[in-house]
Structure 1
Amino acid sequence: LYALCDKDHPIAFESMQFDQPVISMAVEPKQVKDQERLLDNLTKITDEDPTFKFAVDEDTGQVVISGMGELHLEVLAQRLKREFSLGVNTGKPQVVYRETISKKAQIETVFDREWAGEMHFAGITAEVSPMERGKGSQFVNKVSDPLMTEEFINSVEEGIKEASESGVLMGYPVIDVETTLLDARVKELVSSPLAFKIVASMAYKEACELASPLLLEPIMKLEIIVPEEFVGDVISDLHTRGGRIEQITA
């Protein structure tokens, strides 16, 4: 972010960081003809609220909205009706899970088959290892073979990125994993970017299965202020919802 200032002496401010959505649900207009209006109005809301996101499922065509909680999404659905005169039907909220791994794993994978009338070959040795929570995922290349061109390396990274969008446990995105390309096998004339993209995706899935995959639930930290006579009821309610109380102060 930049302030209004002399272009030769810019004043930069630290960017704002926002939490990622933790719950999603499907939404659709009550009248089919309002589908475009729904997308336009959701876009306006995302411009105003950085903790709100929406996407159109490529397979089902459903519009899925995501936010910080059930109340957040309910308020947004009410806004569509109140501010934009757009009635909507909503589906059951679903928690946004993520997947990761808990230990290192190394795998050697080869792709060698005919595809669209041509032979394609690629072989790689890769290692996946867990990263600190919240650090994100990254790709590291340790192959120096001149036959392993930049195009092939980029294809490996692309294959890993696509594979990480659907984990091996329940199909949720995989986060906080470092993938290292340790070795590669190239055959002139038959190795191709497509083959390296496919073999990288295969290797990533196989390695994650060996690396003790974990399902991650979103955790939010909050402070509750409540009259003393209701403390017991609130604590009981938090326990039934899986909450963990860290501190109680008078």
Structure 2
Amino acid sequence: LQREDPSFRAYTDEQTLQTIIAGMGELHLDVLVDRLKREYGVECNVGAPRVAYRESIREWVKAEGKIKKQTGGRGMFGHCWIEMGPLDPEVEENFIFENNITGGVIPKDFIPSVEKGIRDAMTRGVLAGYPVIRIHAKLVDGSFHDVDSSQAAFEIAGSLAFQAAAHKAGIHLLEPMMDVEVRTPESYMGDVIGDLNARRGQVGKMEDLGNLKIITALVPLSKMFGYATDLRSKTQGRAVQSMQFAKYMAVPDNIANEIIAKATGE
């Protein structure tokens, strides 16, 4: 199909693991899905793409992670204290780890294991299994056992410390926000703005371009599926829109609760 139609694209989203098909519009995709079924015998479960939500924290906290097991032979012991908080907005990195251990309370060989445990826990998420982003972690204290401590034990301790800190620091859900630009005749401007507001959009500036009005807004990606078709319907096909990713922002609590419940099956 891609060889026959250059405007059709199909790819796998690395974050959601969905197969995404993209084309010139919803009617174009409907035709392609029908061709897949009729000409190639491929049945498709079609729906809107999944939204790549993220999780993050609100404040600095201190938390402990400790594992202590004794099973008759060699045991498992790992213990660490971390301070954790959100990264400053101007920092480009997604995760910073600082080793502030003094006096050898945790041997140097085990410190990378604590970092690995935190990184692994970030990928699994805390609230709903979405990756955690924008984290600054400082390893500040801990203890070890001469025989029972190991890299695996300190990985677990790091993961436990991260999870404890995340809950204390106000873990919350983030959603991708899109910069949306709509060019519409002035007579439809009220309908366009009303529709953007109904999609939880934050309307920004409005400018003139000849006989057109240019409206810019910040809108959640989850509310933008099918927007091109709706816009054409509301403006008799006379308005056009474009959008691109802007940033992640906190999801309102009532909506976040619904997303978390759906993700966790509760």
Which TM class, normalised by the smaller chain length?
0.5 to 0.7
For residues 181 and 171 of structure 1, the distance between their equivalents in structure 2, rounded to whole angstroms, comes to 24
Shift of 1:231: 0.9
Calculate the TM-score normalised by the size of structure 1.
0.66
Shift of 1:124: 0.6
Equivalences for residues 188-203 of structure 1 within 5 A: 188-203=146-161
Task: Spell out, residue by residue over 1:90-129, the C-alpha distance to the aligned partner (whole angstroms, 9 max, x if none).
Answer: 3453322111111001012321113695311111110111
Counterpart of 2:88 (choices 122, 129, 132) is 132
Aligned CA distance change for structure 1 residues 119 and 64 (closer, same or farther; 3 Å): same
Shift of 1:212: 1.2
For residues 229 and 150 of structure 1, the distance between their equivalents in structure 2, rounded to whole angstroms, comes to 68
Read off the aligned partner of 2:145 and give its amino acid letter. K
Aligned to 2:196: 238
For residues 77 and 21 of structure 2, the distance between their equivalents in structure 1, rounded to whole angstroms, comes to 43
Aligned CA distance change for structure 1 residues 135 and 221 (closer, same or farther; 3 Å): farther
Read off the aligned partner of 1:186 and give its amino acid letter. F
Read off the aligned partner of 1:111 and give its amino acid letter. I
Aligned to 2:121: 163
Aligned-residue identity in percent: 30
* Residue ranges of structure 1 left out of the alignment (5+ in a row): 1-43, 47-51, 58-62
Q: Is the 8 A contact 2:105 2:142 kept in 1?
A: no
Aligned CA distance change for structure 1 residues 147 and 212 (closer, same or farther; 3 Å): closer
Point out the structure with the larger strand share: 2
Q: Is the 8 A contact 2:55 2:132 kept in 1?
A: yes
Aligned to 1:210: 168
Counterpart of 1:64 (choices 18, 26, 31) is 18
1:225 aligned to 2:183? Answer: yes
Q: Is the 8 A contact 1:53 1:67 kept in 2?
A: no
Read off the aligned partner of 2:189 and give its amino acid letter. V
Read off the aligned partner of 2:18 and give its amino acid letter. V
Q: Is the 8 A contact 2:97 2:137 kept in 1?
A: yes
Aligned to 1:54: 14
Aligned CA distance change for structure 1 residues 249 and 166 (closer, same or farther; 3 Å): same
For residues 47 and 55 of structure 2, the distance between their equivalents in structure 1, rounded to whole angstroms, comes to 24
Aligned to 2:75: 119
Equivalences for residues 87-102 of structure 1 within 5 A: 87=42, 88-102=44-58
User: Over aligned residue pairs, what C-alpha RMSD do you find?
Assistant: 3.3
Shift of 1:86: 7.8
Shift of 1:190: 1.1
What secondary structure does 2:183 align onto?
A: coil
* Residue ranges of structure 2 left out of the alignment (5+ in a row): 1-8, 209-266
1:152 aligned to 2:110? Answer: yes
Aligned CA distance change for structure 1 residues 131 and 215 (closer, same or farther; 3 Å): same
Read off the aligned partner of 1:154 and give its amino acid letter. P
For residues 208 and 227 of structure 1, the distance between their equivalents in structure 2, rounded to whole angstroms, comes to 48
Task: Spell out, residue by residue over 1:126-163, the C-alpha distance to the aligned partner (whole angstroms, 9 max, x if none).
Answer: 01111134641121111144463443111111110111
Read off the aligned partner of 1:168 and give its amino acid letter. V
Moved more, 137-146 or 194-203: 137-146
